[in-house]
Amino acid sequence: MPGLVEAELPDIVILDLGLPDVDGLDVLQNLRKTSDVPVIILTARAGDSSRVKGLELGGDDYVVKPFSPAELLARMNAVLRRSAAAHASGKVVARDGLHIDIGSQRVRIDGKDVSLTPAEWNLLAYLATNQGKIISNNELAEAVWGSSYIEDSAIRMCVRRLRIKLNDDPRAPRLLHSHRGLGYSFDLAS
């Protein structure tokens, strides 16, 4: 599938986890190695652990079967809207070798590109454009995934992956700050 995505360059991928020959989560994991195309996961697996795993691996939204075509279309439009909004802004945030270009969706550390999933990018872009402001988990869930029903653990995992990719020590973060019971903030002034 990663080769097909590179060849066809779709705006969005709808990925059913119930594939006959391979686990859809493996497909997602391989896709994320080469592409940041938005992915909506379709599945009959309704459990929280499966949903969290799909989002942790880079899914942008998760739809449980059965679903209505109208709901899927609305979720596709929401994911595409968030992706387009992230591309549209021309803001650049930079300090100490970190360069975040919101308009081109590019993150560099000391001149080297940092590869982010769409969810990681949307989370970082939202926090960076609201620099210094504490953003609640509900607001982040709505802004990044288009749903306030995203588990806090999925947000925590996304922040954790971002910290690793940005070399931001979780024990003493300088960029992504946790505010217990309140949410997260991004601060370059620290």
DSSP codes joined into one string, 108-124? EETTEE----HHHHHHH
- Quick check: 83 pLDDT over 80? no
- Quick check: 81 pLDDT over 90? no
Give the residue, 108 or 92, on which the prediction is more confident.
108
Contact by Cβ (8 Å): 62, 36 = no
Q: How many Å is the maximal CA-CA distance in the chain?
A: 50
E runs forming strands in the chain: 13-16, 39-43, 61-64, 92-95, 98-101, 106-109, 112-113, 176-179, 183-186
Q: What residues are paired with 94 via a beta bridge?
A: 99
Question: Rounded CA gap, 87 and 93, in Å?
Answer: 14
Give the residue, 147 or 90, on which the prediction is more confident.
147
User: What is the set of domains in the chain, with CATH numbers?
Assistant: 2-186 (1.10.10.10)
Which amino acid, one-letter code, is at 185?
A: S
Question: Rounded CA gap, 87 and 81, in Å?
Answer: 10
Residue 107 token pair: 């993150």
Q: DSSP letter for 135, please.
A: B
Q: Which of 9-13, 136-140, 143-147 has the highest mean pLDDT?
A: 136-140
pLDDT, averaged across the chain = 84
pLDDT given for residue 166 in this prediction: 92
- Quick check: 53 pLDDT over 70? yes
CA 21 to chain CA mean position, Å = 27
Instruction: Report in angstroms the alpha-carbon separations of 54 from 87, 96, 172.
Output: 24, 33, 28
Question: Rounded CA gap, 85 and 38, in Å?
Answer: 13
